[in-house]
């Protein structure tokens, strides 16, 4: 495993640095205290990392066996357009997640949890930087509709929660519980996407994946380990963290995570072009299976906290029995434990978009009744958000027949320039006016 570290051209590097000063005010604290929280770990480097020694030939799709492409103009126009959209969307998600984390980071109860999330944010920044490297190191102008690299970078840096490409990155966090559940649920989709893209027929993109995946492994741990600890505290009666609070956050993020895979019926183009090795539904099924394992693991930790005298085998038996009977065991009801919502619950994209399916798979006939159900299942602070209000208004129009499902799906945000209050909306040109200093990836 050998990795090449590459900086962006200075003006772009500075633009990213400028952006992070707005959205990651604790960045310097993270670097200053790195040794305390991550002793002996390699220092953080804001740079693009390319894996060396990866496969030279296309692994899947119509061009399987041919040499991998190293420049956009070696792809067909359709392929290059499709890949450009993937890279821009990925870049948007990386910066978007930092903005979301920033909103509630300071509410962490525990310094270790906070520093873990800060490291996650720094590594997401590096992932966004990586995508900029892909956008800027080659000429995409023949498929970008005339949009230049500098404009693509500005466009992405100007986005804020609400204007990102994927819905999961347009939802504000309500509390630090969201920081953790997001890492466990949404970053897991990231792991799937990166893993699928390791085969990509465009070699610079494929070579970008392994270093990102190595960092993603910690992001998932930064979600799951605090959840396990919270389950233990909940089991011991801590009134400030309960499984019910965690469940509501799972209900909020799981539907958005499923939608990040794309429509269940799609994904053929990615496989045909050799960009990914799985179609959407196949990957989504595996994701659900993996999350079910996560939920069971946390429930087991909870039960062991409630019944310290039980052996691991006894805990497994109790869990099996509660899942089968949906009943009660010595004061613990099945409904007290965590569970994954039905995959059709609260969906606004994909096959079950805008259907009235409840968290347990039950069907609703009226919007009012469904919205009351949502109000019971989602975090209280989320109920008053713009995102949920827009969802509710759109749902009402779909159910009333005033808006088709297809049109409702199209109402979701698109990649576009938005004016923000932050000068970063002109980031690249703005930093050009600063004094020249050498770029210094850390």
Partner 1 sequence: MPRVATGTRIRPLDELDLGRVVQIDERITGIYRPEVWEQRVGYYLRRDPEASQVAEVDGKVVGFMLGDLRAGEFGLEEPSGWIERFGIDPDYRGRDLGKQMFEALCRHFKDQGAVVIRTLADRKDAGVAGFLDALGFEPSALQALEKRL
- Binding residues for partner 1, rule: CB under 8 A, are 1, 38, 40-41, 119, 191-192, 195, 214, 217-218, 220-225, 228-229, 232, 286-287, 289-290, 293-294, 297, 300-301, 304, 308, 312
Q: Decide whether 4 or 380 has the Cβ nearer to partner 1.
A: 4
Residue 312 to residue 100: CA distance in whole angstroms: 37
C-beta separation of 164 from 98 below 8 A: no
Q: What is the gyration radius of the CA atoms in the chain, in angstroms?
A: 22
Q: Decide whether 91 or 183 has the Cβ nearer to partner 1.
A: 183
Q: Decide whether 294 or 374 has the Cβ nearer to partner 1.
A: 294
Q: Decide whether 65 or 312 has the Cβ nearer to partner 1.
A: 312
Q: How many CA atoms lie within 13 A of 153 on its CB side?
A: 30
Least Cβ distance, residue 300 to partner 1 (angstroms):
6
Least Cβ distance, residue 195 to partner 1 (angstroms):
6
Least Cβ distance, residue 56 to partner 1 (angstroms):
17
Q: Decide whether 18 or 296 has the Cβ nearer to partner 1.
A: 296
Q: Decide whether 191 or 334 has the Cβ nearer to partner 1.
A: 191
Least Cβ distance, residue 222 to partner 1 (angstroms):
8
SS3 (DSSP) at 136? helix
- Secondary structure (H, E, C), 75-106: CCHHHHHHHHHHHHHHHHHHHHHHHHHHHHHH
Question: How many Cβ atoms from other residues are within 10 Å of residue 154's Cβ?
Answer: 20
C-beta separation of 376 from 358 below 8 A: no
Q: Decide whether 37 or 430 has the Cβ nearer to partner 1.
A: 37
Least Cβ distance, residue 289 to partner 1 (angstroms):
5
Least Cβ distance, residue 153 to partner 1 (angstroms):
29
**Helix H or strand E segment including 333:** strand 332-333
Residue 47 to residue 147: CA distance in whole angstroms: 24
DSSP per residue over 290-304, as a string? HHHHHHHHHHHHHHH
Q: Which of 356, 17, 103, 55 is nearest to 205 (CA)?
A: 55
Least Cβ distance, residue 218 to partner 1 (angstroms):
4
Residue 287 to residue 315: CA distance in whole angstroms: 25
């Amino acid at each position: 495993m050998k990795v090449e570290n590459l900086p962006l051209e200075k003006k772009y590097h500075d633009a990213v640095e400028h952006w992070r000063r707005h959205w990651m005010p604790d960045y310097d604290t993270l670097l200053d205290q790195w040794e305390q929280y991550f002793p002996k770990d390699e220092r953080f480097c804001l740079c693009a990392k390319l894996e060396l020694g990866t496969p030279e030939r296309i692994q899947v799709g119509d061009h399987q066996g041919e040499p991998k492409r190293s420049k956009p103009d070696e792809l067909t126009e359709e392929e290059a357009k499709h890949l450009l959209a993937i890279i821009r969307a990925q870049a948007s998600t990386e910066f978007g997640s930092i903005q979301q984390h920033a909103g509630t980071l300071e509410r962490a109860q525990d310094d270790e949890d906070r520093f873990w999330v800060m490291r996650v944010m720094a590594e997401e920044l590096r992932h966004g930087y990586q995508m900029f490297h892909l956008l800027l190191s080659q000429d995409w102008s023949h498929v970008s509709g005339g949009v230049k690299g500098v404009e693509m970078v500005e466009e992405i840096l100007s986005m804020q929660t609400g204007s990102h490409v994927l819905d999961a990155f347009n939802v504000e966090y309500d509390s630090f519980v969201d920081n953790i559940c997001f890492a466990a649920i949404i970053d897991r989709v990231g792991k799937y996407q990166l893993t699928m893209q390791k085969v990509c027929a465009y070699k610079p993109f494929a070579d970008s994946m392994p270093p990102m995946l190595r960092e993603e492994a910690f992001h998932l741990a930064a979600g799951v380990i605090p959840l396990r600890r919270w389950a233990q505290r909940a089991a011991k009666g801590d009134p400030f963290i309960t499984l019910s609070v965690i469940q509501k956050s799972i209900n909020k993020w799981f539907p958005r995570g499923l939608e990040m895979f794309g429509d269940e019926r799609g994904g053929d183009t990615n496989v045909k072009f050799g960009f990914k090795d799985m179609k959407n539904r196949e990957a989504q099924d595996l994701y659900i299976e993996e999350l079910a394992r996560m939920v069971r693991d946390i429930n087991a930790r909870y039960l062991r906290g409630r019944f310290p005298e039980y052996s691991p085998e006894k805990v497994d038996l109790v869990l099996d029995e509660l899942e089968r009977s949906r009943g009660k065991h010595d004061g613990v009801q099945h409904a007290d434990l965590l569970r994954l919502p039905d995959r059709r619950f609260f969906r606004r994209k994909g096959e079950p978009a805008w259907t009235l399916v409840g968290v347990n798979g039950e069907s609703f006939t009226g919007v009012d009744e469904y919205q009351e159900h949502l109000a019971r299942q989602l975090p209280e602070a989320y109920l008053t958000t713009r995102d949920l209000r827009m969802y509710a208004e759109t749902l009402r129009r779909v159910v009333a027949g005033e808006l088709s499902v297809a049109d409702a799906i199209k109402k979701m945000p698109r990649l576009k320039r938005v004016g923000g209050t932050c000068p970063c909306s002109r980031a690249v040109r703005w930093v050009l006016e600063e004094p020249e200093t050498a770029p210094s990836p850390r």
